[in-house]
Protein backbone atom coordinates (compact mmCIF):
# COMPACT_ATOMS: atom_id res chain seq x y z
CA UNK A 1 0.00 0.00 0.00
CA UNK A 2 1.33 3.49 -0.75
CA UNK A 3 2.90 5.39 2.12
CA UNK A 4 1.75 8.97 2.51
CA UNK A 5 2.29 11.76 4.95
CA UNK A 6 -0.49 13.18 7.07
CA UNK A 7 -0.29 16.31 4.95
CA UNK A 8 -0.54 14.34 1.71
CA UNK A 9 -3.43 12.32 3.03
CA UNK A 10 -5.37 15.46 3.82
CA UNK A 11 -4.67 17.07 0.48
CA UNK A 12 -5.68 13.87 -1.30
CA UNK A 13 -8.92 13.69 0.62
CA UNK A 14 -9.80 17.27 -0.18
CA UNK A 15 -9.16 16.52 -3.84
CA UNK A 16 -11.23 13.35 -3.84
CA UNK A 17 -14.13 14.94 -2.04
CA UNK A 18 -14.10 17.94 -4.37
CA UNK A 19 -14.12 15.62 -7.37
CA UNK A 20 -16.91 13.61 -5.89
CA UNK A 21 -19.21 16.48 -4.99
CA UNK A 22 -19.34 19.87 -6.66
CA UNK A 23 -20.85 21.38 -3.58
CA UNK A 24 -17.60 20.99 -1.68
CA UNK A 25 -15.66 24.24 -1.67
CA UNK A 26 -12.64 25.44 0.26
CA UNK A 27 -12.14 28.86 1.75
CA UNK A 28 -9.51 30.51 3.92
CA UNK A 29 -6.55 32.83 4.09
CA UNK A 30 -3.83 32.14 1.51
CA UNK A 31 -5.09 28.66 0.82
CA UNK A 32 -4.11 29.54 -2.73
CA UNK A 33 -2.18 32.79 -2.34
CA UNK A 34 -0.93 35.26 -4.88
CA UNK A 35 -4.12 37.22 -5.51
CA UNK A 36 -3.26 40.86 -6.04
CA UNK A 37 0.44 40.05 -6.17
CA UNK A 38 2.83 41.40 -8.75
CA UNK A 39 4.28 38.11 -9.96
CA UNK A 40 1.17 36.67 -11.53
CA UNK A 41 2.02 33.26 -10.08
CA UNK A 42 -1.28 31.40 -9.88
CA UNK A 43 -0.68 29.61 -6.61
CA UNK A 44 1.79 31.45 -4.45
CA UNK A 45 1.08 29.55 -1.25
CA UNK A 46 -1.26 26.58 -1.28
CA UNK A 47 -1.94 27.13 2.40
CA UNK A 48 0.44 28.26 5.10
CA UNK A 49 1.46 24.64 5.59
CA UNK A 50 0.96 23.61 1.97
CA UNK A 51 -2.07 21.45 2.62
CA UNK A 52 -4.26 22.96 -0.10
CA UNK A 53 -1.48 23.06 -2.70
CA UNK A 54 -2.55 22.15 -6.21
CA UNK A 55 -6.27 22.24 -5.58
CA UNK A 56 -6.97 25.63 -7.11
CA UNK A 57 -5.31 24.49 -10.32
CA UNK A 58 -7.75 21.62 -10.60
CA UNK A 59 -10.93 23.17 -9.22
CA UNK A 60 -10.48 26.83 -9.95
CA UNK A 61 -10.58 29.85 -7.72
CA UNK A 62 -14.36 29.73 -7.49
CA UNK A 63 -14.11 26.57 -5.43
CA UNK A 64 -10.83 27.26 -3.68
CA UNK A 65 -11.40 30.71 -2.36
CA UNK A 66 -8.83 33.02 -0.84
CA UNK A 67 -10.26 35.38 1.74
CA UNK A 68 -9.17 38.45 3.62
CA UNK A 69 -8.17 38.19 7.29
CA UNK A 70 -11.70 38.02 8.60
CA UNK A 71 -12.21 34.79 10.50
CA UNK A 72 -15.74 35.63 11.66
CA UNK A 73 -16.75 36.15 8.05
CA UNK A 74 -14.92 33.03 6.90
CA UNK A 75 -16.43 30.73 9.49
CA UNK A 76 -19.77 32.54 9.45
CA UNK A 77 -20.07 32.46 5.68
CA UNK A 78 -19.11 28.79 5.68
CA UNK A 79 -22.02 28.19 8.04
CA UNK A 80 -24.39 30.22 5.90
CA UNK A 81 -23.22 28.45 2.77
CA UNK A 82 -23.76 25.10 4.47
CA UNK A 83 -27.37 26.06 5.20
CA UNK A 84 -27.94 26.93 1.58
CA UNK A 85 -26.57 24.13 -0.52
CA UNK A 86 -22.79 24.00 -0.31
CA UNK A 87 -20.54 21.75 1.76
CA UNK A 88 -17.82 24.22 2.68
CA UNK A 89 -14.47 23.34 4.16
CA UNK A 90 -13.16 26.48 5.82
CA UNK A 91 -9.64 26.81 7.10
CA UNK A 92 -8.93 28.50 10.41
CA UNK A 93 -5.19 28.89 10.06
CA UNK A 94 -4.45 28.22 13.75
CA UNK A 95 -6.86 26.94 16.36
CA UNK A 96 -5.66 29.82 18.54
CA UNK A 97 -7.72 32.11 16.31
CA UNK A 98 -10.94 30.54 17.50
CA UNK A 99 -11.39 33.49 19.84
CA UNK A 100 -12.05 35.88 16.98
CA UNK A 101 -14.82 33.76 15.46
CA UNK A 102 -16.18 31.56 18.22
CA UNK A 103 -19.69 32.93 18.12
CA UNK A 104 -20.22 31.61 14.62
CA UNK A 105 -19.59 28.16 16.03
CA UNK A 106 -20.91 28.40 19.59
CA UNK A 107 -24.20 30.18 18.94
CA UNK A 108 -24.69 29.67 15.23
CA UNK A 109 -23.53 26.50 13.48
CA UNK A 110 -23.66 24.39 16.61
CA UNK A 111 -27.26 25.44 17.27
CA UNK A 112 -28.82 25.82 13.84
CA UNK A 113 -30.24 22.36 13.64
CA UNK A 114 -31.56 22.35 17.18
CA UNK A 115 -33.02 25.82 17.27
CA UNK A 116 -34.48 25.52 13.80
CA UNK A 117 -36.35 22.43 14.97
CA UNK A 118 -34.34 19.98 12.91
CA UNK A 119 -35.32 21.60 9.64
CA UNK A 120 -31.88 22.09 8.19
CA UNK A 121 -28.53 20.42 7.71
CA UNK A 122 -25.25 22.16 8.47
CA UNK A 123 -22.57 20.32 6.48
CA UNK A 124 -19.63 22.56 7.30
CA UNK A 125 -16.11 21.43 8.11
CA UNK A 126 -13.57 23.71 9.75
CA UNK A 127 -10.01 22.55 9.25
CA UNK A 128 -7.64 23.98 11.80
CA UNK A 129 -4.19 23.50 13.25
CA UNK A 130 -3.23 22.79 16.82
CA UNK A 131 -0.14 22.00 18.81
CA UNK A 132 2.99 23.38 20.39
CA UNK A 133 6.64 22.73 19.66
CA UNK A 134 7.39 25.18 16.87
CA UNK A 135 8.65 28.06 18.97
CA UNK A 136 5.68 30.05 17.74
CA UNK A 137 4.87 31.39 21.18
CA UNK A 138 1.80 31.87 23.32
CA UNK A 139 -0.67 32.81 20.58
CA UNK A 140 0.05 30.17 17.93
CA UNK A 141 0.59 26.95 19.85
CA UNK A 142 -2.60 26.01 21.67
CA UNK A 143 -4.61 22.79 21.59
CA UNK A 144 -8.20 23.84 22.17
CA UNK A 145 -10.06 20.73 21.04
CA UNK A 146 -11.40 20.26 24.56
CA UNK A 147 -12.88 23.73 24.67
CA UNK A 148 -14.59 23.05 21.35
CA UNK A 149 -15.76 19.60 22.38
CA UNK A 150 -17.64 21.22 25.26
CA UNK A 151 -20.02 22.74 22.70
CA UNK A 152 -23.10 20.64 21.96
CA UNK A 153 -23.98 20.46 18.29
CA UNK A 154 -20.51 20.26 16.80
CA UNK A 155 -18.17 17.34 16.31
CA UNK A 156 -14.47 17.56 17.02
CA UNK A 157 -12.00 15.36 15.22
CA UNK A 158 -8.36 14.87 16.25
CA UNK A 159 -6.61 12.49 13.84
CA UNK A 160 -3.29 11.13 15.01
CA UNK A 161 -2.00 9.59 11.78
CA UNK A 162 -2.28 9.88 8.02
CA UNK A 163 -4.62 6.93 7.57
CA UNK A 164 -7.09 8.25 10.08
CA UNK A 165 -6.76 11.79 8.77
CA UNK A 166 -7.96 10.65 5.37
CA UNK A 167 -10.88 8.55 6.52
CA UNK A 168 -12.00 11.03 9.14
CA UNK A 169 -11.79 14.04 6.85
CA UNK A 170 -13.90 12.31 4.23
CA UNK A 171 -16.45 11.52 6.92
CA UNK A 172 -16.34 15.12 8.14
CA UNK A 173 -17.02 16.54 4.69
CA UNK A 174 -19.89 14.14 4.04
CA UNK A 175 -21.36 14.63 7.50
CA UNK A 176 -24.41 16.85 7.82
CA UNK A 177 -23.30 18.38 11.10
CA UNK A 178 -20.60 20.99 11.74
CA UNK A 179 -17.22 19.37 12.26
CA UNK A 180 -14.01 20.91 13.56
CA UNK A 181 -11.13 18.98 12.10
CA UNK A 182 -8.03 19.56 14.22
CA UNK A 183 -4.76 18.85 12.46
CA UNK A 184 -1.56 18.79 14.45
CA UNK A 185 1.44 20.75 13.14
CA UNK A 186 3.82 18.05 14.21
CA UNK A 187 2.02 15.30 12.41
CA UNK A 188 2.14 16.75 8.89
CA UNK A 189 5.42 15.02 8.23
CA UNK A 190 4.44 11.68 9.76
CA UNK A 191 3.70 8.95 7.25
CA UNK A 192 2.01 5.59 7.11
CA UNK A 193 0.20 3.38 4.62
CA UNK A 194 -2.78 5.12 3.13
CA UNK A 195 -4.92 3.58 0.38
CA UNK A 196 -5.40 5.62 -2.77
CA UNK A 197 -9.12 4.95 -2.87
CA UNK A 198 -11.83 6.60 -0.85
CA UNK A 199 -12.77 5.27 2.56
CA UNK A 200 -14.65 6.57 5.57
CA UNK A 201 -13.84 6.23 9.25
CA UNK A 202 -16.94 6.67 11.36
CA UNK A 203 -16.96 9.24 14.14
CA UNK A 204 -17.12 7.98 17.70
CA UNK A 205 -15.10 4.83 17.04
CA UNK A 206 -11.83 4.69 18.88
CA UNK A 207 -8.75 3.04 17.50
CA UNK A 208 -6.89 0.70 19.79
CA UNK A 209 -3.33 1.35 18.67
CA UNK A 210 -1.74 -1.04 21.17
CA UNK A 211 -3.48 -3.90 22.90
CA UNK A 212 -2.70 -4.63 26.48
CA UNK A 213 -4.24 -5.61 29.77
CA UNK A 214 -2.44 -3.91 32.62
CA UNK A 215 -2.90 -0.19 31.98
CA UNK A 216 -5.13 1.80 29.64
CA UNK A 217 -3.72 4.94 28.08
CA UNK A 218 -6.16 7.27 26.36
CA UNK A 219 -4.35 9.81 24.21
CA UNK A 220 -5.33 12.38 21.62
CA UNK A 221 -3.70 13.61 18.41
CA UNK A 222 0.09 13.80 18.55
CA UNK A 223 0.08 12.34 22.06
CA UNK A 224 -0.94 8.98 20.59
CA UNK A 225 2.54 8.72 19.09
CA UNK A 226 4.13 9.29 22.47
CA UNK A 227 1.77 6.83 24.11
CA UNK A 228 2.62 4.19 21.53
CA UNK A 229 6.32 4.69 22.10
CA UNK A 230 5.94 4.30 25.84
CA UNK A 231 3.76 1.23 25.37
CA UNK A 232 6.36 -0.33 23.08
CA UNK A 233 9.16 0.42 25.48
CA UNK A 234 7.31 -1.01 28.45
CA UNK A 235 6.23 -4.05 26.46
CA UNK A 236 9.87 -5.04 26.38
CA UNK A 237 9.77 -5.13 30.15
CA UNK A 238 6.66 -7.23 30.04
CA UNK A 239 4.32 -4.39 31.01
CA UNK A 240 1.20 -4.62 28.91
CA UNK A 241 -0.25 -1.25 28.01
CA UNK A 242 -3.37 -0.69 25.94
CA UNK A 243 -3.40 2.58 23.99
CA UNK A 244 -6.70 4.03 22.89
CA UNK A 245 -6.93 6.84 20.39
CA UNK A 246 -10.54 8.07 20.47
CA UNK A 247 -9.93 9.78 17.10
CA UNK A 248 -12.91 12.06 17.71
CA UNK A 249 -13.01 14.13 20.89
CA UNK A 250 -16.72 14.53 20.22
CA UNK A 251 -18.54 12.21 19.81
CA UNK A 252 -16.46 10.18 22.21
CA UNK A 253 -16.29 6.41 22.00
CA UNK A 254 -17.03 5.90 25.67
CA UNK A 255 -17.61 2.19 25.25
CA UNK A 256 -14.13 1.39 24.04
CA UNK A 257 -12.59 3.37 26.87
CA UNK A 258 -14.85 1.83 29.49
CA UNK A 259 -14.26 -1.69 28.21
CA UNK A 260 -10.54 -1.20 28.31
CA UNK A 261 -10.63 0.23 31.82
CA UNK A 262 -12.82 -2.64 32.91
CA UNK A 263 -10.11 -4.95 31.65
CA UNK A 264 -7.06 -3.11 32.99
CA UNK A 265 -8.43 -1.25 35.99
CA UNK A 266 -5.83 1.45 35.46
CA UNK A 267 -6.12 4.62 33.41
CA UNK A 268 -3.64 7.20 32.21
CA UNK A 269 -4.93 10.08 30.06
CA UNK A 270 -2.57 12.09 27.90
CA UNK A 271 -3.56 15.27 26.18
CA UNK A 272 -1.83 18.35 24.85
CA UNK A 273 -4.89 20.40 25.84
CA UNK A 274 -4.96 22.04 29.24
CA UNK A 275 -5.34 20.25 32.56
CA UNK A 276 -8.54 22.08 33.49
CA UNK A 277 -11.94 21.42 31.95
CA UNK A 278 -10.38 19.73 28.93
CA UNK A 279 -10.37 16.27 27.39
CA UNK A 280 -8.05 14.80 30.00
CA UNK A 281 -10.45 15.78 32.75
CA UNK A 282 -13.39 14.55 30.70
CA UNK A 283 -11.90 11.08 30.32
CA UNK A 284 -10.94 10.93 33.98
CA UNK A 285 -14.46 11.99 34.86
CA UNK A 286 -15.89 9.31 32.60
CA UNK A 287 -13.92 6.69 34.49
CA UNK A 288 -14.99 8.09 37.85
CA UNK A 289 -18.65 8.06 36.87
CA UNK A 290 -18.93 4.98 34.70
CA UNK A 291 -16.01 2.66 35.35
CA UNK A 292 -15.50 3.30 39.03
CA UNK A 293 -16.07 -0.29 40.04
CA UNK A 294 -13.24 -1.47 37.79
CA UNK A 295 -10.67 1.14 38.75
CA UNK A 296 -7.82 -0.15 40.86
CA UNK A 297 -5.79 3.03 41.13
CA UNK A 298 -6.23 6.78 40.83
CA UNK A 299 -6.50 8.06 37.29
CA UNK A 300 -3.35 9.76 36.07
CA UNK A 301 -3.66 12.86 33.90
CA UNK A 302 -0.66 13.95 31.86
CA UNK A 303 -1.18 17.35 30.33
CA UNK A 304 0.75 20.58 30.02
CA UNK A 305 0.61 22.79 33.10
CA UNK A 306 -2.20 25.34 33.48
CA UNK A 307 -0.16 28.06 31.77
CA UNK A 308 0.12 29.64 28.33
CA UNK A 309 2.73 28.22 25.94
CA UNK A 310 6.01 30.09 26.43
CA UNK A 311 8.05 31.32 23.46
CA UNK A 312 11.34 29.93 24.71
CA UNK A 313 11.94 26.60 22.99
CA UNK A 314 13.36 25.05 26.15
CA UNK A 315 10.39 26.08 28.26
CA UNK A 316 8.06 24.95 25.52
CA UNK A 317 9.60 21.48 25.50
CA UNK A 318 9.15 21.37 29.24
CA UNK A 319 5.51 22.40 28.71
CA UNK A 320 4.62 19.58 26.30
CA UNK A 321 3.92 16.15 27.84
CA UNK A 322 7.04 14.06 27.44
CA UNK A 323 7.81 10.37 27.06
CA UNK A 324 9.44 10.43 30.46
CA UNK A 325 6.38 11.88 32.18
CA UNK A 326 4.10 9.39 30.49
CA UNK A 327 6.30 6.48 31.40
CA UNK A 328 6.45 7.67 34.99
CA UNK A 329 2.67 7.90 35.12
CA UNK A 330 2.21 4.39 33.79
CA UNK A 331 4.65 3.01 36.33
CA UNK A 332 3.01 5.01 39.09
CA UNK A 333 -0.43 3.66 38.35
CA UNK A 334 0.96 0.13 38.29
CA UNK A 335 2.64 0.52 41.64
CA UNK A 336 -0.45 2.03 43.26
CA UNK A 337 -1.57 -0.65 45.63
CA UNK A 338 -4.88 -0.10 47.25
Partner 1 sequence: MAYDPLVLLDAYRRMRAIREFEERMRREVQAGTVPGFVHLYCGQEAVAVGMCMHLRDSDYIGSTHRGHGHCIAKGCDIGEMLLEIYCKQGGLCNGKGGSMHIADLRKGMLGANAIVGASPPIAVGAALSQKTLGTDGVAVSFIGDGASNQGTVAEALNMAAVLKLPMIFMYENNGYAEFTGAGYHLGGGQIAKRASGFGMPAEAVDGVDFFAVYDACARAVDRARRGEGPSAIEAIAMRWYGHFEGDMQLYRDPKEVDRLRANSDPLKKFEERATAEFGLQADELREIDEEITELIDDKVAIAIAAPKPPREALYTDVYGSY
Ligand X SMILES: Cc1ncc(C[n+]2csc(CCOP(=O)(O)OP(=O)(O)O)c2C)c(N)n1
Residue 17 in contact with residue 172, Cβ under 8 Å? Answer: no
Q: Which stretch binds its own copies (CB under 8 A): 12-20, 28-36, 95-103, 234-242?
A: 95-103
Distance of CA 46 to the CA centre of its chain: 21
Task: Name the residue nearer to partner 1 (CB basis): 127 or 210.
Answer: 127
2: exposed, middle or buried (C-beta count within 10 Å: 0-12, 13-18, 19+)? exposed
For ligand X (CB under 6 A), the number of binding residues is 6
Indicate if 140 belongs to the active site.
yes
Q: Which stretch binds ligand X (CB under 6 A): 7-15, 92-100, 152-160, 222-230?
A: 92-100
Q: Is 133 in the site for partner 1 (CB under 8 A)?
A: no
Number of other residues whose CB lies within 10 A of the CB of residue 139 = 13
Q: Which stretch binds ligand X (CB under 6 A): 93-101, 169-177, 238-246, 250-258?
A: 93-101
CB of 68 vs ligand X, minimal distance in Å: 9
* Residue in 8, 12, 29, 177 binding ligand X, rule: CB under 6 A: 29
Degrees, nearest 5: CA angle 310-90-282: 55
Angle between helices 6-20 and 162-174 (to 10 degrees): 30
Among residue numbers 187 through 246, which ones bind its own copies (CB under 8 A)? none
Among residue numbers 276 through 315, which ones bind partner 1 (CB under 8 A)? 305-308, 310-315
Number of other residues whose CB lies within 10 A of the CB of residue 41 = 10
Q: Is 54 in the site for partner 1 (CB under 8 A)?
A: no
CB of 298 vs its own copies, minimal distance in Å: 4
Q: Is 44 in the site for ligand X (CB under 6 A)?
A: no
Among residue numbers 177 through 216, which ones bind partner 1 (CB under 8 A)? 177, 203-204
Footprint on this chain of its own copies (rule: CB under 8 A): 72, 96-100, 102-107, 110-111, 114-115, 137-139, 146-147, 149-153, 250, 274, 276-282, 284-285, 287-290, 292-293, 295, 297-301, 305-308, 310-311, 338
Indicate which residues carry an active-site annotation. Answer: 71, 140
Amino acid sequence: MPVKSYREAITETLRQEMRRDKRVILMGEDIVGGMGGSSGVFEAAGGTFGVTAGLAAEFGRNRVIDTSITESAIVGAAGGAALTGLRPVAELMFIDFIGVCLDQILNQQAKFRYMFGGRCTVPVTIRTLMGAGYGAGPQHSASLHGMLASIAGIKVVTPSNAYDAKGLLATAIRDDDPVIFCEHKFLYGESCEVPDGEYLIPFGEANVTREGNQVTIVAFSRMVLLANKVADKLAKEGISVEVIDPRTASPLDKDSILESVEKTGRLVVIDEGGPYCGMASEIASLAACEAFESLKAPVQKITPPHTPVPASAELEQEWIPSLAKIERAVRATLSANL
